[in-house]
Amino acid sequence: MKEALVILRDINAGYHSEAVLSDVNLEVYPDDFMGIIGPNGGGKTTLVKVILGLLPPFSGSVSFPRGKPAIGYLPQVSQIDKSFPITVKDLVNSGLKSRNNWFPQLTAGQRKQLHQMLDEAGLSAIASRPIGDLSGGQLQKALLCRALINRPGLLILDEPDTHVDKAFEQELYSWLRELNQEMAILLVSHDIGTISPLVKTIACVNGQLHYHPSNQLSEEVLKVYNCPVDLIAHGPIPHRVLKSHDHA
């Protein structure tokens, strides 16, 4: 029996005593690639914040049976102030967890890690550019580098496919598949159509959480889960990737 990376038990959480999540239970395993879907305001981001430790839950517990892993976090791009005068290099460096990551000057080790990361993502050429100069895809890539530079055991992505073009989306997905060999991935999206072929399991979050141990979802199942995600919105033949399945 493999040991879980993160265990959420009976989580009730929200803002200003107003509950967004109630009685949420979830286990994340080291090789998971979980899609977290649900309607806007359903609590997807709240769930992420509870796992990250940014939002203490009203009740319930978050535990890490294998010890707290390094967590890579990619926030929604709308949270990022693109006009802030910070370079790609400094942005990516801010993901380095290091006790002496204080002074303007980087250590040799830090610089090596930084260059490796930028090389891997193909961002070396624009390392010294301010983030305001980047395209949507480049910014998303730089933010992903910031999340990855620490070589996390758990990667949490909040809507990574907004404001990017289709070509970048494909590049992103193949990169994520590769990364999943090394780390657990939680991918938040309101767009179940595009992430469905990518993820291994799905969690529907709409106040409560329903775990679905497969990436196959039908409209009926979503209805049972009380998870009103619009399947029709994804192309002319939405059921191409959303076959009915044996779990229902």
Partner 1 sequence: MRDLLLVFEYQFFQNAVMAAILTSIIAAMVGTYVVSRKIVFIAGGVTHASFGGIGMAYFFGINPFLGAAVFAVLSSTGIEWISGRGKVREDSAIAILWSLGMALGIIFVFMTPGYTPNLLSFLFGNILSVGRSELYLLGAFCLVTIAVFAVFFRPILYTAFDPEFAKVMGIRVAFFRYLMSVVIALAIVFSIRSLGIILVLSIFTLPQITAMLFTRNFAFIMPLASLWGITGSLSGLLASYIMDIPAAASIIFFLTLQFLLIRLIVTLRMLMLRKLSQKPVKG
Residues near partner 1 (CB under 8 A) are: 16, 52-54, 71, 73, 75, 79-81, 84-87, 90-91, 93-95, 97, 101-104, 128, 130, 132, 146
Choice between 150 and 218, CB closer to partner 1: 150
Choice between 62 and 71, CB closer to partner 1: 71
**To the nearest whole angstrom, how small is the minimum distance from the Cβ of residue 153 to partner 1?**
14
Q: What is the DSSP string of 133-187?
A: GS-HHHHHHHHHHHHHTT--SEEEEESTTTT--HHHHHHHHHHHHHHTTTSEEEE
What CA–CA distance (Å, rounded) separates 27 from 35? 13
SS3 label, residue 47:
helix
Choice between 101 and 170, CB closer to partner 1: 101
**To the nearest whole angstrom, how small is the minimum distance from the Cβ of residue 212 to partner 1?**
27
Choice between 150 and 201, CB closer to partner 1: 150
Choice between 52 and 231, CB closer to partner 1: 52
**To the nearest whole angstrom, how small is the minimum distance from the Cβ of residue 221 to partner 1?**
33
**To the nearest whole angstrom, how small is the minimum distance from the Cβ of residue 122 to partner 1?**
21
Measure CA 152 to chain center: 12
What CA–CA distance (Å, rounded) separates 231 from 244? 13
The CA distances from residue 149 to 54, 66, 78, 94, in Å, are: 20, 21, 22, 9
- Neighbour tally for 239: CB within 10 Å: 14
**To the nearest whole angstrom, how small is the minimum distance from the Cβ of residue 235 to partner 1?**
33
**To the nearest whole angstrom, how small is the minimum distance from the Cβ of residue 102 to partner 1?**
5
- Neighbour tally for 1: CB within 10 Å: 3
Choice between 73 and 168, CB closer to partner 1: 73
What CA–CA distance (Å, rounded) separates 143 from 194? 21
